[in-house]
Amino acid sequence: MKIVKPQPNNLGPVGWIWAGNYKLERYLYILHRITGLGILLFLVFHLTATTFFRIQGEPVWNAAMSFLSNPLFKAGEYMVAVAFSFHMLNGFRLILQELGFLMGKPVPPIYPYSDALRRKRRWTMAMIGIIIILCLIFFYDLVLGGWQ
Amino acid sequence: MRRYTYLWLMQLITGVLIAVLLGIHMVMQHLDKILPFFGVNLNDPTSWNSMIERSRQGIWAGIYIALLAVVLSHALNGLRNVILELTPSARTQRVVTGSTLGLGIIIFFWASYVPIALLYH
């Protein structure tokens, strides 16, 4: 008799970035993780700047601010704003899904079948729309401020 | 293992709190060129004078320390979740939990010193 061994349910570190043939929501999960870790990395730099430089008084603070106002850091700040918008809106979607608010009413199983993923997809699309609007608002402010 | 499931509930609650507190922070710092259109003028929130004026008010010190606490708990719990997705041994899990907790407490006391010190600047 052939013994069928179960597949190991763990890809290791590859599972952090590999989603294969899964749908949009699985890729949003990866983006959620990447933006989360990116914001955590930014937090380390941000806390360094706002503690060590701020506590030393006005000249050190002004020097730090003029160093941080070159276009490279401006672009980095904008990426943090984009990551924040995505992580917040996707987090709201995950909380609403987790607590069962996006379930919808139960429907009889008549062909064509409606599954939970497809019924929740419209919320996902609405979320992506709001993220794009937020990113455009942040970009408008960046343009108004100028790249100095 | 069951007590760690409360960490997930904490992740949801701190997530909502961060959306409020970090929302204030981001609107103030990043939308300061749009806000005058709505009648709010912050005149360059990253300048020393504007910063020190905010630092002298207790409400802002409270907001910054609360934001620091919820952000650290949310971020380090998220980092713990990412690492534990590798399903390491129970001993490694305890080490990861302990080290993220210790790191969070150290960063909290280091960074919350500044808003308290600047209250009397």
Domain span at residue A46 reads: 22-100+112-145
Out of A36, A141, A144, whose CB is closest to B78? A36
**Is residue A57, in this structure, part of any structural domain at all?**
yes
Distance, first Cα to last Cα, chain B: 47
Domain span at residue B98 reads: 2-118
Nearest CA in chain B to A80: B26
- Reported as a single tens digit per residue, the pLDDT across B16-65 is 999 999 999 999 888 888 888 887 777 788 888 888 888 888 999 999 99
Instruction: Give yes or no for residue B4 having a pLDDT over 60.
Output: yes
Q: B108: domain CATH number?
A: 1.20.1300
**Is residue A15, in this structure, part of any structural domain at all?**
no
**Is residue A14, in this structure, part of any structural domain at all?**
no
Cα gap A71→A103, rounded to integer Å:
45
Q: Which residues of B26-63 are buried (b: 16+ CB within 10 A; e: fewer)?
A: bbeebbbbbeeeeeeebeeeeebeebeebbeeeebbeb
Q: What does the pLDDT read at residue B1?
A: 57
The domain total for chain B is 1
Minimal CA separation from B69 to chain A, in Å: 13
- Reported as a single tens digit per residue, the pLDDT across A53-63 is 888 888 999 89
Cα gap B11→B9, rounded to integer Å:
5
Out of A33, A54, A144, whose CB is closest to B34? A144
CB-based contact A36 B16, cutoff 8 Å: no
**Is residue A6, in this structure, part of any structural domain at all?**
no
The domain total for chain A is 1
**Is residue A8, in this structure, part of any structural domain at all?**
no
User: Which residues of B make CB contacts under 8 Å with A?
Assistant: 12, 15-16, 18-19, 22-23, 26, 30-34, 46-48, 51, 71, 75, 78-79, 82, 85-87, 107, 110-111, 113-114, 117-118
Distance of CA B11 to the CA centre of its chain: 13
**Is residue A46, in this structure, part of any structural domain at all?**
yes
- Reported as a single tens digit per residue, the pLDDT across B103-113 is 999 999 999 99
Q: A27: domain CATH number?
A: 1.20.1300.10
Is the C-alpha dihedral spanning B110, B78, B11, A89 positive or negative?
positive
Tokens of A58: 């006005």
**Is residue A12, in this structure, part of any structural domain at all?**
no
